[in-house]
Amino acid sequence: MMLFETTHLTYRYDRLTAIEDLSISIAEGSRVALVGANGSGKSTLLRILDGLYFGQQGTVRFRGEELSEDRFGDDEFAFSFRRQVGLVFQNPEVQLFSPTVFDEVAFGPLQLRWPKSEVRKRVGETLERFGIAHLKDRVPHRLSGGEQKRVALASVLVLNPAVLLLDEPTAALDPRSQSQVIDLLVEWGGGAKSVITATHHLGDLADIADRCLVLDGGRVVAEGPPAEILRDAELLERTNLVHAHRHRHRSGELHSHPHVHSGEAEPGD
């Protein structure tokens, strides 16, 4: 049985189609990257997989069970799903709304009705694990970007979800914070967890995914292992994941080739 399965899924924002006739399958325990430029439909797809948005056409199944608004009306199903699937939003501003870092990390477990003693214990452990125990009494939105991202990750991973959905986990972070976040994810994903990451940072792909789905205009235009996708210069250029870098050689000849900014080997080189 597949972890997620979408069949002819379409999602529109008024007149804008974000996801179009999408049929994909994601297996249990896999690490998948949804790769695409801005506006390709990655974030929308993650929200659909998390049962926050529901497509106008087609179906989405989670471990064989259809995700629909009606289904989420049932408390038992909703709690069971939320215990299994966690989503880290791209913008920590929307996810950090509690008075203190401790309260922020405790929010999820409390809503899922964990006993308070268990909440205190697990939150304390999670803060230690993420190296943010010293921030526990701070106001989350007063932290640096890297610290905010770690708090956002901790606030979801405290639930120990079997499936983790990540929306641009390293966006707007300095290189050191990016590396810390990737290390945390690699360490967390070491067990039999499923991780689905939306990203356009090609440099992170090899670390966070075994399989890539390249999205463009709400459709999957290619899929394969990261190395294979990164080798396809024409695909990356067509989907706006790289841009042409032009320079003039001493001979006067104008030369152009695809150019990537994330530190990975340049495709086509």
Instruction: Please report which helix (H) or strand (E) contains residue 186, including its range.
Output: helix 175-188
- The bridge status of strand 211-216 relative to strand 31-35 is parallel
Residue 92 DSSP SS3: helix
Q: Which two tokens stand for residue 5?
A: 């399965």
Q: Which is nearer to other proteins, 51 or 146 (CB)?
A: 51
Q: How far is the CB of 53 from other proteins (least distance, A)?
A: 8
Looking at the Cβ atoms of 37 and 139, the one nearer to other proteins is: 139
Q: How far is the CB of 120 from other proteins (least distance, A)?
A: 7
The encoded tokens of residue 227 equal: 């190395």
User: In whole angstroms, how close is the CB of 264 to other proteins at the nearest point?
Assistant: 31
Using the minimum distance from each CB to other proteins, give the nearer residue, 156 or 242.
156
- Whole-number minimum distance, CB 170 to other proteins, in Å? 19
In the complex, minimum distance from the CB of residue 14 to other proteins, in angstroms, rounded to a whole number: 14
**Smaller CB separation from other proteins, 88 or 241:** 88
Where along the sequence are the contacts to other proteins (CB under 8 A)?
A: 47, 50, 52, 75, 78-79, 82-83, 86-87, 89, 91, 93-95, 97-100, 102-103, 106-108, 110-113, 116, 119-120, 137-139, 141-142, 155-156, 159
Crossing angle of helices 145-157 and 116-129, rounded to 10°:
140
| HSE of 15, CA atoms in CB hemisphere, 13 A | 0
Count CB-CB contacts under 10 A for residue 77.
15
| Beta partners for residue 216, in sequence order | 219
Beta strands in 180-231 (DSSP E): 194-199, 211-216, 219-224
Q: Is the separation of the CB atoms in 86 and 143 below 8 Å?
A: no
Q: How far apart are CA 55 and CA 37, in angstroms?
A: 21
Q: In which residue are the tokens 């707007």 written? A: 172
Q: How far is the CB of 111 from other proteins (least distance, A)?
A: 4
Nearest to other proteins of 86, 267 (CB atom): 86
Residue (193 or 242) nearer to other proteins, CB? 193
- How many other CB atoms sit within 10 Å of the CB of residue 199? 24
